[in-house]
């Protein structure tokens, strides 16, 4: 089987650079592209990136890339790839996705069907199976994707399974949770470090607080879940266990954290506590039912991250205007704190009463949102002897 691979880590629009940074921190050089980051590595890289990447969606293997303007070229291109290096006899290999963008070939179901035929034919040939007799597909699953962009087809195998944002700690999600990988990315964009106080005053199910604690404690986000590649016969189970064991050993238990989550809704606080317990960070976070308007603190140099209700989903317009204006007034005295507010409201700044130092366009699912960033004024800490 293969020893070296080209991988693609997929990322939500706007978060590619954060994913790129995480991949480099794991020791792999990479190229950041639109919606994806490309890197090379071995089987350890496959396991490690799935286990450790906080902001990516999925890790995929690039089986190959070729020009395909006609179905014949597509068939020959897919057929020419070394499928026998990935797919054992008897496995399931659906062409789970086909996507055509700015290309001559645009009928996606046909692209799927032709690609499937080409893989089948290649395996029949390689394993000396008679043509015309369908291959049995009963074993481990390898999901294949074909994407054609400007007449160039790229063929991928998904290694992850359900998206990496599913960490396995979410017992209940409540109304409008932010995806775990998006929360982790925003935390990395904020200048929060584990020695600073952290507050999410509209914490909902607690995603930001939990991701902050996991980041600080160096808890691998994938430690509590499984991945598609764990079913594959050529990924050594002992190697996977070794990587998990190393991840367990890497958890830091020696640090004190100051992380608080508040929400006006007591039921959300209960959910947040449950999720934090599942994630193994319950003792790191103080969750409390409170209105954000009642937030007061003497602490300095902290970071606030908030994903308040947006008009679309949770509150009507008047209530939003009032909430954002009260938010501005409540945060105003906290001059040394940095604030990061994620909302789809394009008039947020005028309602909040301050121009953001920086804005970053992101997508919360399919909803266009902005991350409004207000940087705290730097104040030296007075160290008490």
Applying CB under 6 A, the residues found at the interface with ligand SAH are 174-178, 201-202, 204-205, 207, 262-265, 268, 291-293, 307-309, 323
How would you classify the pairing of strands 95-101 and 152-158?
A: unpaired
Which residue, 32 or 187, is less far from ligand SAH as judged by CB? 187
Query: CA–CA separation, 26 vs 222, rounded Å?
Result: 14
Which residue, 141 or 270, is less far from ligand SAH as judged by CB? 270
Query: CA–CA separation, 286 vs 199, rounded Å?
Result: 10
Query: CA–CA separation, 373 vs 29, rounded Å?
Result: 29
Which residue, 161 or 177, is less far from ligand SAH as judged by CB? 177
Smallest distance from the beta carbon of 216 to ligand SAH, in angstroms? 18
Smallest distance from the beta carbon of 167 to ligand SAH, in angstroms? 12
The residues near 257 (Cβ < 8 Å, ≥ 6 apart) are: 194, 198, 212, 213, 216, 217, 284, 285
| Closest chain position to ligand SAH (CB) | 204
Q: What are the angstrom distances between the C-alpha of 255 and each of 5, 29, 44, 150, 261?
A: 37, 30, 29, 50, 19
Smallest distance from the beta carbon of 177 to ligand SAH, in angstroms? 4
Query: CA–CA separation, 216 vs 225, rounded Å?
Result: 20
Which residue, 70 or 293, is less far from ligand SAH as judged by CB? 293
Which residue, 14 or 174, is less far from ligand SAH as judged by CB? 174
Smallest distance from the beta carbon of 50 to ligand SAH, in angstroms? 23
Query: CA–CA separation, 318 vs 325, rounded Å?
Result: 11
Which residue, 194 or 308, is less far from ligand SAH as judged by CB? 308
Q: Residue 307's closest CA among 369, 229, 366, 226?
A: 369
How big is the CA angle at 272 (ends 266 and 273), to the nearest 5 degrees?
95
Which residue, 26 or 264, is less far from ligand SAH as judged by CB? 264
Q: What is the 3-state secondary structure (H, E, C) of 254-266?
A: CCCCCEEEEECCH
Smallest distance from the beta carbon of 268 to ligand SAH, in angstroms? 4
Smallest distance from the beta carbon of 324 to ligand SAH, in angstroms? 10
- The string over 363-375, giving b where at least 16 C-beta atoms fall within 10 Å of a residue's C-beta and e elsewhere, is ebeeeebbbbbbe
Is 9 within 8 Å of 56 (Cβ atoms)? yes
Smallest distance from the beta carbon of 154 to ligand SAH, in angstroms? 33
């Amino acid at each position: 089987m293969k020893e070296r691979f080209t991988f693609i880590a997929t990322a939500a629009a706007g978060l590619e650079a954060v994913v790129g940074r995480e991949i480099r921190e794991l020791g792999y050089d990479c190229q950041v592209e639109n919606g994806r980051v490309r890197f090379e590595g071995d089987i350890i890289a496959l396991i490690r990136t799935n286990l450790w990447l906080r902001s990516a969606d999925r890790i995929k293997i690039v089986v190959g890339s070729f020009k395909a303007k006609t179905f014949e070229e597509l068939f020959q291109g897919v057929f020419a790839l070394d499928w026998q290096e990935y797919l054992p006899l008897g496995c399931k290999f659906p062409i789970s996705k086909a996507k055509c963008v700015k290309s001559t070939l645009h009928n996606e179901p046909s692209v799927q069907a032709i690609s499937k035929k080409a893989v089948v034919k290649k395996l029949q040939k390689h394993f000396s199976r008679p043509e015309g007799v369908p291959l049995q597909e009963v074993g481990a699953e390898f999901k294949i994707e074909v994407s054609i962009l400007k007449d160039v087809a790229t063929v991928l195998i998904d290694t992850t399974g359900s998206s990496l944002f599913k960490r396995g700690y979410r017992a209940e999600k409540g109304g409008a949770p932010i995806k775990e990988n998006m929360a982790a990315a925003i935390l990395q964009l904020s200048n929060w470090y584990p020695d600073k106080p952290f507050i999410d005053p509209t914490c909902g199910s607690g995603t930001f607080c939990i991701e902050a604690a996991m980041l600080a404690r160096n808890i691998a986000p994938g430690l509590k879940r499984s991945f598609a590649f764990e079913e594959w016969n050529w990924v050594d189970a002992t190697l996977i266990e070794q990587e998990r064991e190393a991840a367990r050993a890497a958890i830091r238990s020696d640090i004190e954290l100051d992380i608080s989550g508040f929400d006006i809704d007591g039921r959300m606080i209960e959910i947040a506590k449950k999720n934090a317990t599942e994630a193994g960070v319950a003792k790191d976070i103080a969750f409390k039912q409170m209105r954000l308007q009642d937030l007061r603190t003497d602490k300095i140099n902290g970071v606030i991250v908030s994903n308040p209700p947006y008009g679309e989903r949770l509150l009507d317009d008047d209530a939003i205007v009032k909430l954002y204006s009260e938010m501005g007034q409540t945060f105003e005295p906290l001059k040394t704190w940095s604030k990061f507010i994620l909302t789809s409201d394009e008039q947020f700044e005028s309602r909040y009463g301050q121009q953001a130092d920086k804005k970053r366009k992101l997508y919360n699912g399919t909803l266009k949102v902005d991350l409004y960033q207000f940087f705290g004024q730097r104040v030296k800490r007075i160290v008490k002897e």
